[in-house]
Structure 1
């Protein structure tokens, strides 16, 4: 096995473990908080919004501290071991205030690891290999969902409503941290170039906001956080609430479809264009929530189908959006523009989307003693909001510039 092949294999394992650690707890947390700790929807929404705060703070750590003073693989090792320790503590906490603060610190520690993992791969491998390595991250998330039901579920009754998935994540995170120390060295950047807040947060790209369509795109990127976070925070709880079995395993099919639909993105962009590709992504989110509203425990086909279109929802808007940002910014503002997009989409979008999802759930209390919420009302409301965002995007986004999608950007 040559050096490059060996590195690709090692980084693929790293990426698999990286997303296994988050997939192990992220999908089931809402069910654990709602059913076992008996917390309201606003608490659940706020808990998930902490990941958005982590995404906002992460660029400061990555861009200004981590890879400029310490070898990246060692930073990853320390952070992942720290994250695992915090997750283990979190699994033992039942007091709401202590839980929030522990989760907050965890998100601050964990969030930079995803960007740093990408950085390590880009340093050691040609860019064309990244997609293949990143695919193992999706596989890791799928494995985590399967492990919750197929392994932990054999020993723990109603495992998704317990803290056991958090413990599994903690153990995996510590193992990953130890593995990080064995990776090829990624040296400190010694270019001497100073990096300020403007560069880290992508504020240099604010000049792009002079164009109405780019501003509309960022607005849609912020608002799409509502259906995305509603899905991750409450859909697992919903399926468990109506009596569906092996929910985590079923939801892992969403990540499988995410990988599958990725193949169609460049093909469809060439057919329908950037605007209508992103519109399709928004429209699929709206359609999906109206489908959720009609789900019952016996509607197995509808459950599986609504999960499988996750890839169309996420890839058609998010991946196409990243391409649009790259084309719009050009070489001069490329990094800054992508940073601004991630700040809005992953940071502010997650924060506001999660909290609004929590509020929407509280607007629809249960109409029966058998369920925690009026799920049909929650999902119809989310579907209507997303439909309004879709219509506003279609009417307001008018970027008529022609882009060369085949051009290689240096």
Structure 2
């Protein structure tokens, strides 16, 4: 079995787990458990809380003490137990704590999965900038497959999605222990900060990196908005007789999965765009795509406006990939080799940690503000989010200074 195929399997499984519940659990809490907007926002806040501490912490552990592939397997098994517990709770408070456990186990596995993939590729003489995107695309395919199965088995608004993710997490955890060894760097530490991996924070002392991390945080908020409210937004149309029997309302997860299908197209274009245009232009394209994503939601519906919802799903591929995957590759290129695991964890902390917290709480408050007598003014909500993304794009264009060198994306320093 080739090393690329083995990495393809782990990337598929990694995101299959997330796809089983991430885009549908908001609908489960909204329609089945009858949580309020701010309560749902608070539950989604757990993703951000966990991402502030766990990815950097486990990035340090993988850099210093424990093989990354073993740590990845352990966390997936812990995550399976947490998902099972989450399936048994029904109140906002207990769901908050359950999902905090789930996120504490799962969120660091995203950066650990990247660390393992990059390490294995480089140890076999390959280049992450070129060889990782075609492998990572299978993670998106895994996410799509899980979303479709969740929908087709009618688990979208039930706790069954969490049990489905639990079983998937067990399989993934066990598979991780079959991967090639990814040994810690075992570098000697000259200071207490280095001993605990906190030297990755030195990246904030580099202007271009500090600005990059800050804007990544704001884009992380945009990502959380769409994860949290996409399915509840589509699901609300079922109360309108004009839309109740449309395919989009009957199978919201399948409609939303067009976003992930779009990802599979844009992921494989990342090496070309990074070499040709550089990280600044690629990030700007992502920000403009986020603006379109939200704006098209604002004018769309499952009936005559279905085309706008579909277009919103399509531009999501660029919005997500050109930010998330390109950002990870940029960190891999710019960070010193002995702290790359910690640097990936730091990137996760800024995007899925602090950024997600801003997105979760802010969007929850926004939806609650525009909800009167149980009816949400969704167009206003989405247009405000669209303006938010456009503002970020303009500021990033003015502030981020980075001289693109096409040849630097041909190879990665070892």
**TM-score under structure 2 length normalisation:** 0.84
Which residue of structure 2 lines up, in the alignment, with residue 49 of structure 1?
45
The 1-side partners of 2:295 and 2:267 are apart by: 24
Residue 379 of structure 1: which of 374, 377, 382 is its match?
Answer: 382
Residue 395 of structure 2: which of 392, 397, 401 is its match?
Answer: 392
Residue 208 of structure 1: which of 196, 206, 214 is its match?
Answer: 206
Find the residue that maps to 2:100 and give its secondary structure.
Answer: helix
Aligned CA distance change for structure 1 residues 98 and 64 (closer, same or farther; 3 Å):
same
Aligned CA distance change for structure 1 residues 14 and 390 (closer, same or farther; 3 Å):
closer
Aligned CA distance change for structure 1 residues 374 and 198 (closer, same or farther; 3 Å):
farther
Q: Is the 8 A contact 1:254 1:311 kept in 2?
A: yes
- Mapping 1:202-281, distance limit 5 Å: 202-209=200-207, 214-243=209-238, 244-269=249-274, 272-281=277-286
The 2-side partners of 1:359 and 1:217 are apart by: 27
- Mapping 1:190-201, distance limit 5 Å: 191=186, 193-194=188-189, 196=194, 199-200=197-198
The 2-side partners of 1:78 and 1:317 are apart by: 28
Q: Is the 8 A contact 1:59 1:201 kept in 2?
A: no
Find the residue that maps to 1:380 and give its secondary structure.
Answer: helix
Which residue of structure 2 lines up, in the alignment, with residue 173 of structure 1?
169
Which residue of structure 1 lines up, in the alignment, with residue 146 of structure 2?
144
The 1-side partners of 2:334 and 2:66 are apart by: 33
The C-alpha deviation readout for 1:51-78, integer Å capped at 9, x for no partner, is 2222222244423435755554444333
Which residue of structure 1 lines up, in the alignment, with residue 244 of structure 2?
none
The C-alpha deviation readout for 1:163-212, integer Å capped at 9, x for no partner, is 1111111111122223334x145265373634737734721212213xxx
The 1-side partners of 2:409 and 2:180 are apart by: 34
Q: Is the 8 A contact 1:200 1:339 kept in 2?
A: no
The C-alpha deviation readout for 1:118-172, integer Å capped at 9, x for no partner, is 344444443444334322211110100110122x12xxxxx32221111111111
Q: Is the 8 A contact 2:115 2:341 kept in 1?
A: no
Report the alpha carbon displacement of residue 384 of structure 1 after superposing the two structures with TM: 1.5
Tell me how many residue pairs correspond in the alignment. Answer: 393
Structure 1's unaligned 5+ residue stretches are: 154-158
Structure 2 residue 85 is the aligned partner of structure 1 residue 89: yes
Residue 320 of structure 2: which of 286, 295, 314 is its match?
Answer: 314
- Mapping 1:113-152, distance limit 5 Å: 113-125=109-121, 126=124, 127-128=126-127, 129-150=131-152, 152=153
Aligned CA distance change for structure 1 residues 133 and 101 (closer, same or farther; 3 Å):
same
Structure 2 residue 23 is the aligned partner of structure 1 residue 17: no
Residue 292 of structure 1: which of 297, 301, 317 is its match?
Answer: 297
Aligned CA distance change for structure 1 residues 19 and 277 (closer, same or farther; 3 Å):
closer
The C-alpha deviation readout for 1:300-355, integer Å capped at 9, x for no partner, is 22222210111111223344444555666677987766554333223211122221
Q: Is the 8 A contact 1:123 1:186 kept in 2?
A: no
The C-alpha deviation readout for 1:251-274, integer Å capped at 9, x for no partner, is 222122112112333434555554
**TM-score under structure 1 length normalisation:** 0.84
The 2-side partners of 1:327 and 1:65 are apart by: 21
Which residue of structure 2 lines up, in the alignment, with residue 304 of structure 1?
310
- Mapping 1:93-108, distance limit 5 Å: 93-108=89-104
Q: Is the 8 A contact 1:205 1:340 kept in 2?
A: no
Structure 2's unaligned 5+ residue stretches are: 239-248
